[in-house]
Amino acid sequence: MAAAWQNRSDNVAVLLEAGANANFALPNGNNALGGAVTCKNQDMVDALVRHGAKPDAKTRHLSKDRGIQFPDS
């Protein structure tokens, strides 16, 4: 999750391939998908969704402001 919020696609890819939980969230709801959307990183969003990340309502709303599309959209 920290790698996503720092816009480190390379680190996110390695972590996902190693089995990191794409849906892990902090108690406040912050998660890797939210970080990727915040950073406007479409490739990272796509990778996270391919590995099982599920966008919540907050992330979907933010994605519209950031010009991000989810693969299922």
**Domain locations in the chain?**
2-66
Tell me how far apart the alpha carbons of residues 29 and 72 are, in angstroms, rounded to a whole number. Answer: 22
Write out pLDDT tens, residues 4-47.
999 999 999 999 999 999 999 999 999 999 999 999 999 999 99
Name the token pair of 10: 């390379």
Predicted pLDDT at 30: 93
pLDDT of the residue at 71: 85
d(CA 62, CA 14): 26
Q: What is the DSSP string of the chain?
A: -HHHHTT-HHHHHHHHHTT--TT-B-TT--BHHHHHHHTT-HHHHHHHHHTT----HHHHHHHHHHT---TT-
